[in-house]
């Protein structure tokens, strides 16, 4: 062999070669090599071509169930980054959301065990030792070292799963599939059980519950009119309220003062900067059974009537206002009118509703 054929240094591996190496490590069950090879994958991500990142996402997501528990969350972050750079979000979402569910379950086990072993401040993942937490919550009487380990892993890695899950839930096809399969319902229930701990899931819950291309039947009790609309990407009912006023009042279908164009733009696609415009309420939002629907909720709170989400508009009992903008800035919002119901059809729908009532002690 000539000296020209001898490389002077080892060639830097390509990103997809590193992905293949990680696949081989997981297939071999070589947990000791997993961290270093994953580090190589992460290190090469920035220089990878867009098509390489897109191709890597589903391959890396498929490794999540068999990856070692602690570094698995870091792999999920790489999967999330691939999705943000063009990887198929639906192909990546299943293992990521399953990992979030496991981390939530583990973290909640740690919180219960912590309370049962003396209570006090829960461990700080940035400051405290996971080994010490494991020793405290493990119960030798039931030989559950593995469950204690998963509880500690869940607590220490939950924030990473939260970020990776945000990356996939930011895509409408993932939201639609996860809602239809029941995955979102399970996760939202786990979010609610986790209230009061060291993680805030409000944003992720609103994102997960976001409806896309969803029909909305709106009945206006004062005028007896009805409207079929379609909504997508609305993060909370404040945003829906703003766009209802824009479409129905601004569109000349209902009386009232139209929303400021800047407020409407922020509810649709514009981004907040230094401005702090204020949106004003135009209606009281009421379910067909007469219960109030609060602006702080999500459009998914609107109940189905014959398979269609149905909302009744009534006069405001008091003035409302709120800061304009989208709760989920990354997702554009849309509400469009599909048709105006004829008077007889609107009357039939309204006859199936009751006037609004509320037992709320405080105005919202």
Q: What digits encode the pLDDT tens for the residues 4-40? A: 443 433 455 799 999 999 999 999 999 999 999 999 9
In the DSSP assignment, the letter for residue 9 is: S
**Contact assessment for residue 153 and residue 106, using Cβ atoms and an 8 Å cutoff:** yes
Summarised one tens digit per residue, pLDDT across range 121-160 is 999 998 999 999 999 998 777 657 888 999 999 999 999 9
- 279 phi, psi to nearest 5 deg: -90, 150
Residues 188 and 81 in one domain: yes
Is the distance from CB of 179 to CB of 185 less than 8 angstroms?
Answer: yes
> What's the angle, vertex CA 9, arms to CA 8 and CA 12, rounded to 5?
140
For residue 249, what are the domain limits? Answer: 214-350
Q: Say if residue 149 is in the same domain as residue 265.
A: no
| Cβ 66 vs Cβ 26: under 8 Å | yes
Q: What is the pTM assigned to this prediction?
A: 0.89
Specify whether 27 is located in the same domain as 108. yes
Structure tokens at 227: 């409207």
Considering the domain architecture, whether residues 24 and 131 belong to the same structural domain is answered as: yes
User: How many structural domains is the chain composed of?
Assistant: 2
For residues 19 and 92, state if they share a domain.
yes
pLDDT block averages, 10 residues each, the chain of length 364:
39 86 97 96 96 97 97 98 98 98 95 92 92 89 81 96 98 97 97 76 96 98 98 97 98 95 95 84 96 96 97 95 93 97 98 81 39
Same domain for 199 and 126: yes
Do 77 and 95 share a domain, yes or no? yes
């Amino acid at each position: 062999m000539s000296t020209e054929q001898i490389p002077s240094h080892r060639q830097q591996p390509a990103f997809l070669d590193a992905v293949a190496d990680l696949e081989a490590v997981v297939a071999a069950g070589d947990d000791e090599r997993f961290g270093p090879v994953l580090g190589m994958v992460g290190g090469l991500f920035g220089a990878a071509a867009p098509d390489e990142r897109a191709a890597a996402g589903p391959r890396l997501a498929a490794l999540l169930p068999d990856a070692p528990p602690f570094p698995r969350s870091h792999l999920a972050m790489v999967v999330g980054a691939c999705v943000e750079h063009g990887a198929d979000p639906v192909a990546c979402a299943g293992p990521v959301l399953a990992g979030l569910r496991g981390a939530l379950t583990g973290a909640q086990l740690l919180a219960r065990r912590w309370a049962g072993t003396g209570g006090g401040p829960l461990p700080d993942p940035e400051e405290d030792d996971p080994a010490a937490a494991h020793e405290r919550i493990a119960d030798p009487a039931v030989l559950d070292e593995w469950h204690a380990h998963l509880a500690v892993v869940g607590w220490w890695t939950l924030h990473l799963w939260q970020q990776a899950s945000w990356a996939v839930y930011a895509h409408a096809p993932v939201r639609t599939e996860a809602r239809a399969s029941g995955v979102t319902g399970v996760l939202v229930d786990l979010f609610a059980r986790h209230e009061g701990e060291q993680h805030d899931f409000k944003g992720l819950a609103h994102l997960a519950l976001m409806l896309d291309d969803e029909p909305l039947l709106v009945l206006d009790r004062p005028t007896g009119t009805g409207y079929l609309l379609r909504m997508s990407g609305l993060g909370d009912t404040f945003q829906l309220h703003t766009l209802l006023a824009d479409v129905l009042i601004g569109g000349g279908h209902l009386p009232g003062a139209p929303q400021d164009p800047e407020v409407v733009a922020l509810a649709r696609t514009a981004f907040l900067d230094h401005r702090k415009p204020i949106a004003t309420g135009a209606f009281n939002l009421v379910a067909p059974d007469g219960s109030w629907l609060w602006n702080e909720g999500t459009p998914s709170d609107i109940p189905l009537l014959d398979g269609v989400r149905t909302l009744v508009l009534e006069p405001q009992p008091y003035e409302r206002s709120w800061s304009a903008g989208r709760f989920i800035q990354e997702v554009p919002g849309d509400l469009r009118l599909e048709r105006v119901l004829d008077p007889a059809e609107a009357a039939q729908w309204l006859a199936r509703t009751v006037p609004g009532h509320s037992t709320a002690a405080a105005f919202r």
